[in-house]
Structure 1
Amino acid sequence: MEEIGIVMNGVTGRMGTNQHLIRSILALREEGGVELSNGERVVPDPLLVGRNERKLRELSEEHDVDRWIADPDLETCLDGDDAIYFDSQVTPRRPESLLKAIDAGKDVYCEKPLAMDLDTALEVTRAAEQSDSKHGIVQDKLWLPGLMKLKRLIDQGFFGEILSVRVEFGYWVFTGHIQQAQRPSWNYRAEDGGGIIDDMFSHWSYVLENLFGRVESVMCLGKTHVPRRVDGTGEEYEATAEDAAYAIMELEDDIVAQLNSSWTVRVNRDDLLEIQVDGTDGSAVAGLRDCKTQHHANTPKPEWNPDTPTEHDFYDDWTSVPNNQTFENAFKRQWEMYIRHVVEDEPFPWDFRAGAKGVQLTEASHQSWKEGRRVSVDELTI
């Protein structure tokens, strides 16, 4: 059994702490490490890095992690023998840190989005591809149970010809005036990398491409529905980033995708994320964990009559896809694959080029909103 050192920068944030440190890296350590193809195991050894010494010390003590350092400039932590640099900082700080890690000869893995703009994302991608660095970006939603079931239906040809995709995502994020907000205040400041387009459209890019096909055009409208919020210290601030976005995207094979993303919506659906796919032979609705289907042969024939009550229960016409496999934490699953990619060169297609595609879609969506028109999304050239 061997260890592999991982510099984890920005790990004191919500995602860095919960999904990446606790539920992925520490969970893998408790399991005895990542199993390789030869049956041996490699155990991740995290070095916690950040800007806040107090938070790092508390995190280290709470979770029994021996190594930590407050090193915002990365001057010390990149000089060591750790093989991997992982970045979950706020987006504006990410590119410079990734470039430093690549220059130091580290393999690099990071949260999305890769950068705030496409030019910077391409710069980081080129640096990674021109080096010996094995680079990867988090695309966790591909391993959600609901989406894995949906992918299985697609691979089995359940839908026939896929016609359209509808994505509903979001929930009500409290403003902080009466109840404390459940998201950090930087999410609502454009100058700090906030906004639901930057936060979610990098996700929609890889979800749509991996399941249905490349995005070829986008028409997007963003809105700041709630103009003032209260931060964690009780101070009111102006929200300069959009809290909702409404988009129509054209995909390969003439598939149309409609996506509503909002932090100002109250949930009246089965899950916070719901994806409906309609095809000539059948339809499916997938959430985070569950997926239900309706085949052409079982589709009811409703008639529109607003003058009489609807007695038919349309929910009864759907059948659940069974849980016939074991589903692990999505972040942990991708961490395992990335570590095997680093240690024994297992294929890993979710690289910085994929991350740059997400930034490309985000940038095109902002352009569409600003100019009030449909924007083409060309094949990405690195």
Structure 2
Amino acid sequence: MTLSVGFLGYRFMGQAHANALARLPMFFPDAPEVERDVLVGRDEEALSEAVDQFGFERYATDWEEVVDEVDVFYNLGPNNLHPEPSIAALDAGTHVFCEKPLAHTLDAAERMAAAAESSDATAGVAFNYRFVPAIQYAKALIDDGFLGDVHHVRAEYLQDWLVDPTAPWSWRNSEDVAGSGALGDLGAHSIDLAQYLIGDTIDRVSGHLRTFVDERPVPGEDGGGLDAAGSDSVETRPVTVDDAYTAQAEFEGGTMGVFEASRFATGHKNANTIEINGSDGSIRFDLERFNELEVLDSDARGFETVLVTDPDDPYLDHWWPPGHVLGWEHTFVHENYEFLSAAAAGDDHDPDFGTGLAVQRTLAAIEESDERGEWVRV
């Protein structure tokens, strides 16, 4: 069975998913065959270049014209473009794979989840860090009871790409487009990972959001911000989302959670970390040490670092000999393999739009908690 595929979006995530599709037949020969059909965007010159670069057959400038012409529609655009194209595709019976967070508002996420529920098509949300082999290994340990009763989850996602106040404004700085800042862009990953790994949902939260730079220069034709002299005459736009957030959380089963994300964490490029402590042991993962999982059992005096690259580790039988490490891009290969396999079989995919909605509800509760200055139930 060959699945024709359309992408909305061809920048960062478009490139990541296109790379994954190109790798699938080489390393996952049992994956469904994929025809990269149409690439959707607004800039025809950039689209024509991306079509050739990504191996697509054609491009279109109107998603409404193509959502019913492909078998699978990838929604990789800014967050405010997630709802309407995804809903239209699902209504047409087209499978949909949508980047996270599910939407820019809770209302939009609820509409998307409802559309997925009423459609026969497969819907998936792209929480790619679930498909890190070390995370899959950690999930198996936890499901087997290795940690005992889970007491603590603490998750951070730290970056520093906005520390410079002259860094240019982008759609990720706009509430109308992105919905939130570090909270939705980075915190969504942490929240999903925590709920996925321990198999429990967050019940209530206490959140704190902060914006450190209130306006940023509009990028010029060269993509830069302020000139070298730091001219005050450069056009700026307001930053209407958070630069950082922290949250305390209580899970339904009683586990305590602490979450943090920042785009101002100087010295951190992509530090996505999670630690879980239980009555019998602990696990700790850091994305910047992608191939490792730190494990502690009740009889040990310290953490043991496990290199998760053996052939019997998750997904590793498709790749290289032990110790020949994988990288960030491999998460997209793994999640595309799982999603496309589910779509071809007409099965559900995990994580689905319901999962994305559950995360979106937590994001909204954290924002509400910050506004009200008190604990809020999800």
Shorter chain as normaliser: what TM range? Answer: 0.7 to 0.9
How many Å separate the matches in 2 of 1:296 and 1:53? 59
How many Å separate the matches in 2 of 1:347 and 1:133? 9
Whether contact under 8 Å (1:201, 1:358) holds in the other structure is no
How many Å separate the matches in 2 of 1:278 and 1:264? 27
Shift of 1:214: 0.7
Shift of 1:64: 3.6
Map of 1:1-12 to 2, 5 A cutoff? 2-10=1-9, 12=10
Which residue of the partner structure matches residue 352 of structure 1? 353
Alignment CA distance shift 1:240-1:293 (3 Å)? same
Which residue of the partner structure matches residue 36 of structure 2? 45
Whether contact under 8 Å (1:32, 1:43) holds in the other structure is no
Aligned partner of 2:150 among 162, 166, 170? 162
How many Å separate the matches in 1 of 2:191 and 2:27? 34
Greater alpha carbon shift after TM alignment, 340-349 vs 258-267: 340-349
Partner of 2:64: helix, strand, or coil?
A: coil
Which residue of the partner structure matches residue 260 of structure 1? 260
Shift of 1:175: 5.0
Aligned partner of 2:18 among 21, 44, 53? 21
Which residue of the partner structure matches residue 59 of structure 1? 50
Partner AA of 1:21 in structure 2: A
Alignment CA distance shift 1:129-1:346 (3 Å)? closer
Deviation per CA, 1:76-103: give whole Å up to 9, x if none: 22352x2111101111121111122123
Alignment CA distance shift 1:159-1:52 (3 Å)? same
Aligned partner of 2:30 among 16, 30, 35? 35
Alignment CA distance shift 1:177-1:250 (3 Å)? closer
Shift of 1:157: 2.4
Which residue of the partner structure matches residue 120 of structure 1? 108
Q: Does 1:229 align with 2:216?
A: yes
Whether contact under 8 Å (2:209, 2:245) holds in the other structure is yes
Alignment CA distance shift 1:176-1:67 (3 Å)? farther
Map of 1:1-382 to 2, 5 A cutoff? 2-10=1-9, 12-17=10-15, 19-22=16-19, 24-29=20-25, 31=26, 35=30, 41-71=32-62, 74-80=63-69, 82-175=70-163, 185-193=170-178, 194-212=180-198, 213-233=200-220, 234=225, 235-267=235-267, 272-288=271-287, 289=290, 290-299=292-301, 317-323=302-308, 324=310, 325=313, 326=316, 329-377=330-378
How many Å separate the matches in 2 of 1:170 and 1:274? 9
Partner AA of 1:170 in structure 2: L
Aligned identity (percent) is 25
Could you state the TM-score of these two structures normalised by the residue count of structure 2? 0.83
Alignment CA distance shift 1:25-1:174 (3 Å)? same
Whether contact under 8 Å (2:122, 2:349) holds in the other structure is no
Shift of 1:263: 0.6
How many Å separate the matches in 2 of 1:321 and 1:167? 20
Deviation per CA, 1:40-65: give whole Å up to 9, x if none: x5234241111111111111223443
Partner AA of 2:127 in structure 1: Q
Partner AA of 2:214 in structure 1: P
How many Å separate the matches in 2 of 1:177 and 1:241? 15
Partner of 1:276: helix, strand, or coil?
A: strand
Shift of 1:191: 2.3
Unaligned runs of 5+ in 1: 300-316, 378-382
How many Å separate the matches in 2 of 1:7 and 1:167? 34
Alignment CA distance shift 1:185-1:110 (3 Å)? same
How many Å separate the matches in 1 of 2:136 and 2:143? 10
How many Å separate the matches in 1 of 2:356 and 2:75? 13
Partner AA of 1:262 in structure 2: S
Deviation per CA, 1:209-232: give whole Å up to 9, x if none: 211211111111000022233343
How many Å separate the matches in 1 of 2:122 and 2:150? 35
Aligned length: 344
Partner of 1:254: helix, strand, or coil?
A: coil
Cα RMSD, aligned residues only = 2.4
Shift of 1:8: 0.7
How many Å separate the matches in 2 of 1:332 and 1:46? 19
Deviation per CA, 1:347-378: give whole Å up to 9, x if none: 5232111111111111111111111111112x
Could you state the TM-score of these two structures normalised by the residue count of structure 1? 0.83
Deviation per CA, 1:84-127: give whole Å up to 9, x if none: 11101111121111122123221212111222222222222222
Whether contact under 8 Å (1:9, 1:49) holds in the other structure is yes
How many Å separate the matches in 1 of 2:42 and 2:106? 26
Partner of 2:205: helix, strand, or coil?
A: strand
Larger radius of gyration: 1
Partner AA of 1:200 in structure 2: L
How many Å separate the matches in 1 of 2:148 and 2:108? 40
